[in-house]
Amino acid sequence: MNNLETFQELWFVLITILFAGYSILDGFDLGIGSMLPFLARTKEEKDTLINSIGPVWDGNEVWLVTGGGALFAAFPQAYATSFSGFYLAFMIVLFCLIFRAVSFEFRAHSPKRARLWEWALTGASLLAALLFGLALGNVVFGVPLDARMEYAGTFLTLLRPVPLLFGLMGLSAFLMQGSAWAILKTEGELQERAFRAASMLAIIELIVFIVFAAVVAVTMPASLTNPVCIAGALLALLGIKGIGSSVMKRNERAPFWESSAAIIGVWVMVAALQYPNLIRATGDPALSITIRNASTSLMTLKIMSVIALVGMPVVIGYSIYVYRVFAGKAGTGAEY
């Protein structure tokens, strides 16, 4: 293949897959952290929830790092504009992820301040989950860009109603993913609380998704005639509705996969809405950053494709191995 456009489209799909994979895997980490004080009532129950994500949370973040690196290498203009324009928002996300990481260690080794670090974990997880969706919402809905493809707004520009709705959609999906993971990894009273949380969150996520889909249809009418976008919406809707049925049947495994399917459906919607844009410009669509005007050279994309052909199976294989090793119910023995 020597067609530049083919490689540009390939990397658009691969980056979408990487970010979707991150949403599924680190989504349950952020969900568990966000709901820690609400699901668990005793230190032992909190230990169980934290131990359920302890062996895998840092590995899950590899998907985010890889997605960001791929964006930088394949579409450097989009990377530069997003990371400079959303600088404050991304710095807040970075500090949230740092606080989440250190809270595990400080909670385990500073018993007197354990509750403080538990709330730090919860606050950081909640805020990160919201801001990830907010950033995605601004990319899809559009931001002001100047003739040099640089962000022309302020931090407050990012806090518009539609991007905030994206943030709420992401937050509700991550909370749902976290409760589904808790169902899968716990038992007894803690699992029963996770079932009840999943039941309530399924209703909340369904309401948020319906509002989200309606707003997308109104603000982006092209979505109504885009078959890929419609297919993604149906997948998300079926996944969310399936969770309610599985929870009623007390199925331990199905809610996690149904929640993951809902996340994939939303990402399919986003990819269909965005293509071929990477960052949509408000006002003048000609200023939008696309896979055509933001990509690196054909040679670079070819080299990256070879690396991805070797590297992605390794990452996926390693992830499968880790989850198989740490399969089963979480206990209270290890300290993270």
DSSP category for residue 290: E
Residue whose token pair is 């905030």: 164
The model's pLDDT over 136-184, given as tens digits with 9 standing for 90+, comes to: 999 999 999 988 888 988 888 889 999 999 999 999 999 999 999 999 9
Q: How far apart are CA 178 and CA 36, in angstroms?
A: 10
Please give the pLDDT value at position 332: 62
pLDDT at 2 over 70: no
20 occurs within a structural domain = yes
131 occurs within a structural domain = yes
Q: How far apart are CA 38 and CA 234, in angstroms?
A: 31
228 occurs within a structural domain = yes
Q: In the predicted model, what is the mean pLDDT of residues 315-329?
A: 87
Q: How far apart are CA 294 and CA 277, in angstroms?
A: 10
Closest by CA to 150, choosing from 11, 15, 279, is: 279
Average pLDDT score over the chain:
91
The model's pLDDT over 179-220, given as tens digits with 9 standing for 90+, comes to: 999 999 999 999 999 999 999 999 999 999 999 999 999 999
Count the domains in the chain: 1
Residue whose token pair is 């890889």: 66
100 occurs within a structural domain = yes
Query: Which whole-number Å values give the CA distances from 302 to 76, 134, 151, 292, 294, in the listed order?
Result: 15, 32, 29, 16, 16
333 occurs within a structural domain = no
Helix, strand or coil, per DSSP, at residue 285: helix
Please give the pLDDT value at position 301: 94
Which residues are 290's β-sheet partners?
277
Domain that holds residue 276: 4-325
Please give the pLDDT value at position 283: 80
The model's pLDDT over 296-306, given as tens digits with 9 standing for 90+, comes to: 999 999 999 99
334 occurs within a structural domain = no
Helix, strand or coil, per DSSP, at residue 199: helix
CB 227 within 8 A of CB 234: no
Q: How far apart are CA 236 and CA 328, in angstroms?
A: 27
331 occurs within a structural domain = no
